[in-house]
Amino acid sequence: RITAPMDGVVTFIKTLEGQTVIAAQEAPTILTLADLDTMLVKAEVSEADVIYLKPDLKASFTVLGAPDKAFNGKLK
């Protein structure tokens, strides 16, 4: 049984099922877990649209791994 110190979403799997891992010196990285409640997104905006942006403006985005789920936030 493998447990994590926090809730999150698996964003990367480094070790495959059945693969041997060696923990001689330090614990091996099996996967990457991310807390998607707090994220910083860097995006490119066309020069024509920059004039419409301001701090605290609401924004939403999707990611390739979950195209049906919209993430909401605000501009910094």
Assigned token pair, 9: 């979403």
What digits encode the pLDDT tens for the residues 7-55?
A: 888 889 888 888 887 777 677 778 898 887 888 899 999 999 999 999 9
The pTM (predicted TM-score) of the whole model is: 0.48
* Residue at 33 is within a domain: yes
* Residue at 4 is within a domain: no
Domain of residue 69, residue span? 9-74
Contact 31, 10 (CB under 8 A): yes
pLDDT at 50: 95
Q: What's the total number of domains in the chain?
A: 1
* Residue at 1 is within a domain: no
Spatial separation of the C-alpha atoms in residues 52 and 47, rounded to whole Å = 10
* Residue at 37 is within a domain: yes
> Where does 1-76 have alpha helices with state H?
47-50
Contact 76, 57 (CB under 8 A): no
* Residue at 27 is within a domain: yes
Backbone angles phi and psi of 57, in degrees to 5: -65, 135
* Residue at 3 is within a domain: no
Q: How does DSSP classify residue 25? A: S
